[in-house]
Amino acid sequence: MRNNVGEEIAHRIAAHGQNFSLYFHLPFCAGKCPYCSFFSVVPRSGEIEEYCRLLHSEIRFFGERLSGSGVSATTIYFGGGTPSLLAPAEWERLFKCLRTHFAFARNLEISIEANPDSLSEEHVRLWKEQDVSRISIGVQSFQDDELRWLGRLHDADRARKALAMCVRSGFSTSADFMFGLAGQSLRSFSSSVAEAIALGVEHLSLYQLSIDETSSWSVNPPEGRKDGYPFYRWSQWYLPKKGFAQYEISSFARPGKECRHNGVYWANGPVLALGAGAWGYANGVRYRNERTLADYAEAIRRNGQSVAETETPDAGKRAHEAAILLLRTSKGIDFDAFSTRYGAEELSSILDTLENNAPPDCFERSGASFALSPKGMRVANSLWTLIV
């Protein structure tokens, strides 16, 4: 590693010679949901503006080091936290800074996560001007009682309006929904999902409620949570009939509306991650930025970048992690590509372990590839334990 670890990350991204993806972590939320332990805080006055100034410095740092290398950003993802908490003027400055310092590929995909309670018409107008392609909205449910139980700040009506506004403005619109909530029935979940489709969403991300370790519910988990299996199974049955293919364990999309940025993660492609707590991957090295606002600010002021931790997995671990990521997707493992990158021996050992220890109807094997079947996706967590 070079003296400045940020220099090393930039060098690895440039040396890869491929286009790369950019991830920005925007760690602010209007309130903290009780089940969530993503890195995010409720911002104090002036904190978002200061964070954006630091992000501009970080963009400059990496932009200068990648300039002239011939590599361009092919996808950009703004995640959080709640990116829609940034005011439109802040977004304008951020895009200006990005366009000054990075080269973009011609078919650039830009995705932004938003929450219904903070998304405004001004955001949508500005994002359209800036050629944002996808907006992903944290709806979670269209049932007010379920939203209240989850501690969300929006109600169903607000979520409907947010989705309709994005669809009307011509964005490829995605909605997140959760299942396994107390009081939730298959009927209430299916009516939420069907309503999103009727509103025109082209991508759905469906998650079982999980209570993260450091969340406030982890101390005193709520009663009445439901087994997620029937909800997931229903989604796998219903969504293909509505034209949504399951292209990843939690993701369903109309043809051509898959999130390309996430595809880069699953293929272990190069991801330059900016912002506090963000994770990136640079040609064999996984890294994480400082994960408190104070440490992030200090690192950016001192070094121009905030990489805090790197990991270089050995060849075996890399192959196993890559297999798990690829098996999340419906395309699965392409034998030739996997063998070239991770070795034919690793490939046969992983496939033998899976096929010798799990029922055959969990997999779909062709002459050229190996993927999980819909049943395999339903039991994926137990399959991963075989090959971690």
Q: What is the contact surface with ligand SF4 in residues (CB under 6 A)? A: 29, 32-33, 36, 38, 40, 80-82, 115, 138
Record the tokens describing residue 140, joined without a space. Answer: 């979670």
Contact (CB, 8 A) for 133 and 110: yes
Residues in the chain: 388
Record the tokens describing residue 225, joined without a space. Answer: 């949570």
What's 359's DSSP letter? -
**How would you label 325-362 residue by residue, b for 16+ Cβ within 10 Å and e otherwise?**
ebbbbbebbbbeebeeebeeebbebbbeebeeebeeeb
Record the tokens describing residue 219, joined without a space. Answer: 């101390």
Sign of the Cα torsion 345, 320, 203, 195 reads positive
Closest to 250 measured CA to CA, from 164, 332, 178: 178
**Residue closer to ligand SF4, measured from CB, 19 or 173:** 173
Query: What is the closest distance, in whole angstroms, from the C-beta atom of residue 38 to ligand SF4 in the complex?
Result: 4
- Tally of CA atoms within 13 A in the half-sphere of 61 that contains its CB: 26
**Residue closer to ligand SF4, measured from CB, 117 or 195:** 117
**Residue closer to ligand SF4, measured from CB, 83 or 269:** 83
Query: What is the closest distance, in whole angstroms, from the C-beta atom of residue 25 to ligand SF4 in the complex?
Result: 10
**Residue closer to ligand SF4, measured from CB, 81 or 376:** 81
**Residue closer to ligand SF4, measured from CB, 40 or 246:** 40
Contact (CB, 8 A) for 142 and 177: no
Classify residue 35 as left (phi > 0), alpha (psi -120 to 50) or beta: alpha
Query: What is the closest distance, in whole angstroms, from the C-beta atom of residue 126 to ligand SF4 in the complex?
Result: 21
Query: What is the closest distance, in whole angstroms, from the C-beta atom of residue 2 to ligand SF4 in the complex?
Result: 34
Query: What is the closest distance, in whole angstroms, from the C-beta atom of residue 20 to ligand SF4 in the complex?
Result: 25
Query: What is the closest distance, in whole angstroms, from the C-beta atom of residue 82 to ligand SF4 in the complex?
Result: 5
Closest to 22 measured CA to CA, from 97, 126, 118: 97
Query: What is the closest distance, in whole angstroms, from the C-beta atom of residue 202 to ligand SF4 in the complex?
Result: 22
**Residue closer to ligand SF4, measured from CB, 10 or 181:** 181
**Residue closer to ligand SF4, measured from CB, 42 or 368:** 42
- Apex 231 CA angle, 230 and 233, nearest 5: 60
**Residue closer to ligand SF4, measured from CB, 7 or 117:** 117
**Residue closer to ligand SF4, measured from CB, 81 or 332:** 81
Query: What is the closest distance, in whole angstroms, from the C-beta atom of residue 45 to ligand SF4 in the complex?
Result: 19
Contact (CB, 8 A) for 280 and 4: no
Reply yes or no: is the peptide bond before residue 367 cis, omega within 30 of 0.
no
Query: What is the closest distance, in whole angstroms, from the C-beta atom of residue 152 to ligand SF4 in the complex?
Result: 7
Identify the three-state secondary structure at position 360: helix
Work out the number of other CB atoms within 10 angstroms of the CB of residue 120.
14
